[in-house]
Each structure stands twice: as C-alpha cells, then as structure tokens.
Amino acid sequence: MLLMGAFMTAMSILGLPQVFPAEAEGWRMSAPPARYDAESIFQYVDGHGEIYRAYGMVACVAQRYAGPEGERDIVVDVFEMSSAADAFGIFTHSREGEATDIGQGGSFGYGSLVFWKGWHFVSVYAEQESPRARAAVMTLGRAVASAVPGTGDTPALVRRLPEDGLDPQSIVYLRHPQILNAHVRLGPENVLALGPDAPAVVGRYRRGEASAELVIAAYPNGEAAAVAARRFADRLLVADEPTRHEDGWYAASGPAGSSHARAFVLRATSREMAEALLAEAGRKGGQQ
C-alpha cells in the first residue's frame, strides 16, 4: 500500500520540516507529535536519556501510530544530534539485526528499524511483531529517510581501524565512558579519559582462531593522550608491555599514528594478535 495523506508541516525539529506521514500500511497517527529536549527526554525514555545525552542529543520528535484491528502501535522517533558523527555514533550503539538500504546504515531486528542520516538518528519500532507491522515499519522508515535532508560522513577516526578481520557490525563510535563500558568493560572509572574532545572507536577482530578488541582514541593534545596511556598501563599492563591476564587474554597499548592518538587492545587471545593490531593501528593512523 502506498503512503496516504500529505506530510504535516506544523512542527519542526530545529528547522527540519516535519517528516511523519499521516498513514502507512493501515497505521494512522493517533496523536500530535511530541517533542523533547535534552532535559525532558527523561520523561519519554526514563533510564535511557543519559545515552542520548552522551551523544550530544539536541532534540527528539516522537510520533505514535495506531494500528489496524489486531495490531499494536508503531512509534517513530527522530533524534537531532549535535553532529553527524554523534548521529553515526548513537546508531552504532543501537543497531542490531540485519542490514537494510534505508537511510545510512539501516538495521532491522526484533521489530525495530534504526538508521542515521546527516545529523539525525531515527528509530521506528513496532510494539508487536507481525508481517504486516514489519511492512509498515519499513514504509515509515523509507518515508522519514526521504524527508530528512542531507547525508553525513562517517567519522575519520573510524577509518583508523585496521580492516583485516574487523567485524563491521561491531564498530561503535563514542565520546563517553558509559558507552564504552556497554561494549568493552573497563570498569566505572574513565580509564581512557574519554570526553567531548576525546572520542574513541571500538572494533572486534577475528583472524583464524585468534580474536581481540581494539579501541582507538583521539585526544586534543599529547599530554591528554599520555594521561590515558598511563591510566591504562596502571590498570592492565606490566612494564608497559603486552600483558597476559589470569583468564588468558592479553592487553596492550601503543601510539596510533600520532602523539594525540592511542590504540588499546583488550581480550586478545594471543600476544601476537595484540602486537599485530597495535602495529597496524599505528601505520593506519599515520596515513590519515
């Protein structure tokens, strides 16, 4: 079924024309769109608001659609972030399921579609999965993706990850230790000294039987990078060398192409794997 009804223009998300169609595949708007900012977002996603704030959320517009008889609601959330890099980042933190061609990097799983486009992150989810609901989720996602203007560039830091053995679906871009700990456990302290001016990218690797996690962080200056290197070494290394831990995995750290960037290897199944990733991260960073 084609989309029915004109696009509404009464609301905007910081200048972005309203992107919600009135109807899709039998689901219809059940109330006016709701808008939230970085403070009021907790009223909408209690317990998860800090995640959006960690990625520089500016605003969110949410639209609920009532389903036809026998079907549950579908909800569309459009988040405006503070940069395209942050839109990409919240997408990488949130994605799961199979890839789609909707928006930038679309991913669908468990009744939920997520994608990023430009400075925006979009979530479309069905409260109950069904073949009809999935079709509606996809239709709504395509409509919103078409209405959101522009595209964004993947953060340059992502291109510092060595490609050999990298799982593309494991890549996560972040600026906050809370997000890092959701993907790579380092404890409650901000061991890598991450922050708004010190972003990082995470990737998981498998080469044959060997595996590892790699974090590359970019710091505003050499002093900040040195502080992070020292914190990591104090926590996980012996004499600043690749170190094997009691459960058998190795940790290691080294420069990532400049005095302002560091590579941190965790849970490497061999010393050779840890050293190889450090060397490749150093060469890759030097090419940027």
Give me the mean pLDDT over the 119-138 stretch.
95
The pLDDT, as a whole number, for residue 115 is 97
The pLDDT, as a whole number, for residue 9 is 31
Ramachandran region, residue 239 (left: φ > 0; alpha: ψ -120 to 50; beta: rest) = left
Report the mean per-residue pLDDT for the chain: 90
214 — pLDDT class (breaks 50, 70, 90): very high
Give me the mean pLDDT over the 238-266 stretch.
93
Domain ranges of the chain: 12-147, 156-286
Give me the mean pLDDT over the 57-68 stretch.
94
SS3 142: helix
Positive or negative CA dihedral for 246, 174, 285, 227? negative
CATH architecture observed for domain 12-147: 3-Layer(aba) Sandwich (3.40)
**Rg of the chain in Å (alpha carbons):** 21
Give me the mean pLDDT over the 267-271 stretch.
97
CB 82 within 8 A of CB 118: no
16 — pLDDT class (breaks 50, 70, 90): low
For 71, phi and psi rounded to 5 degrees?
-120, 145
Contacts of residue 21, Cβ cutoff 8 Å, sequence gap at least 6:
3, 4, 5, 7, 140, 143
Strand partners, 66: 28
Q: Is the pLDDT of residue 11 over 50?
A: no
Number of Cβ within a 10 Å radius of residue 11: 16
Q: Is the pLDDT of residue 180 over 70?
A: yes
Taking only the tens place, the pLDDT of each residue in 186-206 is 888 899 999 999 999 999 999
For 249, phi and psi rounded to 5 degrees?
-95, 160
Find the distance separating the first CA and the last CA of the chain, reported in whole Å. Answer: 47
Q: Is the pLDDT of residue 1 over 50?
A: no
Among 31-35, 50-54, 182-186, 260-264, the range with the most confident prediction by mean pLDDT is 260-264
Give me the mean pLDDT over the 17-32 stretch.
88
The pLDDT, as a whole number, for residue 179 is 94
Give me the mean pLDDT over the 27-31 stretch.
93
Q: Is the pLDDT of residue 46 over 80?
A: no
The pLDDT, as a whole number, for residue 13 is 58
Lowest-confidence pick of 18-22, 54-58, 91-95, 151-155: 18-22
Percent of the chain clearing pLDDT 70 (strictly above): 92
CA angle 133, 137, 143 (to 5 degrees): 145
Taking only the tens place, the pLDDT of each residue in 229-244 is 999 999 999 999 999 9
